Amino acid sequence: MYTFFHLKQDILRFKNAGCEVGVVGKTHLGCDIPYLFIGEKSGTNLVVVASVHAREHITSLLVARQAWFYFTKKVNLFGGIYFVPMLNIDGVRLCHEGVDWIASKEQRDFLVETNGGYDFSLWKANANAVDINCNFDAEWGTGASNVTKPAPQGYIGTNPMSEKESVALAEFTKQINPDYVIAYHAKGEEIYWQFFQDEQKLNRDYRYARFVANYTGYKLVGQTQSAGGYKDWCVQKLGIPAITVEVGNDAYSHPYPYHQIDDIVAKNLLVPQKMLNTISKEKQNAKQVYEGGYQRG
């Protein structure tokens, strides 16, 4: 299992090795959400996020492994990548540790009642019982599986961006203004990329998503019945191409078994690098065409 404790150890390991480490913002219960940056800030930049949903913590191990590989192997990057290995730290802690680590009795009682017991291994929400991936300001509240009261999954919150984690990630993303966003979830081996894009962006975003689908062997899925996700918000509000990648085969059940991590890593290890370099080359080509045209004119 990849826990908050492992994340803290890894962050320290990166820091001691000279990698840029920073803070995206805070969780509902006040914990710093870390990021790692690898590569060059000028030029093309990517954001890679994992564990938006608590029980999908195997994605944190995937992203930690990606980042460590890129950092230590000095993988060739035409730009830079921001890795956010564990957005929903409070939720992941609930999955692994239950409620004992939470200081407030009121908070513990609220969570145990909402969960219907002490086993939080299938919990998806944050520590406010809001599903972070239903809380973003993108057709908020219109998702087919949305619920309107605190729940282990699907609760949209009192209003769009009501949660600290959503605000932190949104502000972080706006500040970076990345060229591509990859949000890792589990499971199904599927890629979601569509969310009310205009035609020009639809073609671009489909092309990028198809690239990742071809590389991973995962299935492309168009518009779905869900809304208010981080990917949805990037696509609709920022016009940034973004994908949700559902790692892991549906043959297994949640929480996704860790003995499958090598398969997940094998299929995804180079996905951020391939996307970064593909987009970077495209931008370079577009610039040359423009400059060539200007000189001729």
Which residues bind to Zn ion, rule: CB under 5 A? Answer: 53, 56, 185
> Using omega within 30 degrees of 0 as the cis cutoff, is the peptide bond preceding 283 cis?
no
Q: How far apart are CA 251 and CA 53, in angstroms?
A: 19
What is the number of other CB atoms lying within 10 angstroms of the CB of residue 78? 17
Q: Smaller CB distance to Zn ion: residue 38 or 54?
A: 54
Q: Smaller CB distance to Zn ion: residue 71 or 218?
A: 218
Measured between alpha carbons, how far is residue 65 from residues 14, 61, 89, 126, 183 in Å?
Answer: 11, 6, 18, 24, 15
> To the nearest whole angstrom, how small is the minimum distance from the Cβ of residue 44 to Zn ion?
26
- Closest by CA to 282, choosing from 184, 225, 165, 204, is 204
> To the nearest whole angstrom, how small is the minimum distance from the Cβ of residue 154 to Zn ion?
11
> To the nearest whole angstrom, how small is the minimum distance from the Cβ of residue 34 to Zn ion?
20
Q: Smaller CB distance to Zn ion: residue 128 or 280?
A: 128
> To the nearest whole angstrom, how small is the minimum distance from the Cβ of residue 56 to Zn ion?
5
> To the nearest whole angstrom, how small is the minimum distance from the Cβ of residue 186 to Zn ion?
7
Q: Smaller CB distance to Zn ion: residue 56 or 232?
A: 56
Q: Smaller CB distance to Zn ion: residue 93 or 185?
A: 185
The neighbouring-strand residues paired with 25 are: 33
Amino acid symbol at 56: E
Pairing of strands 80-84, 20-26: unpaired
What is the number of other CB atoms lying within 10 angstroms of the CB of residue 294? 8
